[in-house]
Amino acid sequence: MILKVKTFGISRDILGGREVELVLNGNSVGDLRQHLYTTYPELQKLNSLFIAINLEYAADEHVLTEKDEVALIPPVSGG
């Protein structure tokens, strides 16, 4: 499955762009998370990494389709 993943904050720096195309050999958010951690090990150092599907946070069990809008939401700090 080919997914277009939108990135924000530090995840944009780690993946190298605002939107990255990934080839996923699974079909769940958990599969995507494992692929990201394997391909981009720096992501594992973050305190948290949320994955949003179609503008809503998704659990690892959520099943993906190629039409889904996928976004990586790294930890944010404010002041």
Is 90 exceeded by the pLDDT of residue 69? yes
Domain limits at 13? 2-73
The answer to whether residue 58 sits within a structural domain is yes
Is 70 exceeded by the pLDDT of residue 77? no
The answer to whether residue 78 sits within a structural domain is no
The answer to whether residue 65 sits within a structural domain is yes
The answer to whether residue 79 sits within a structural domain is no
- DSSP states along 65-78: -TTS-EEEE-----
Is 60 exceeded by the pLDDT of residue 61? yes
What Rg, from alpha-carbon coordinates, does the chain have? 12
Q: What is the pTM of this model?
A: 0.92
Report the run of H or E that residue 2 belongs to, with start and end: strand 2-7
The pLDDT confidence band at residue 79, using thresholds 50, 70 and 90, is low
Q: For residues 2 and 73, give the distance between their C-alpha atoms in angstroms, rounded to a whole number.
A: 20
Q: For residues 71 and 55, give the distance between their C-alpha atoms in angstroms, rounded to a whole number.
A: 8
For residue range 1-60, list pLDDT tens digits in order: 999 999 999 999 999 999 999 999 999 999 999 999 999 999 999 999 999 999 999 999
The answer to whether residue 37 sits within a structural domain is yes
CATH code, 28: 3.10.20.30
Number of domains into which the chain is organized: 1
Report the run of H or E that residue 12 belongs to, with start and end: helix 10-15
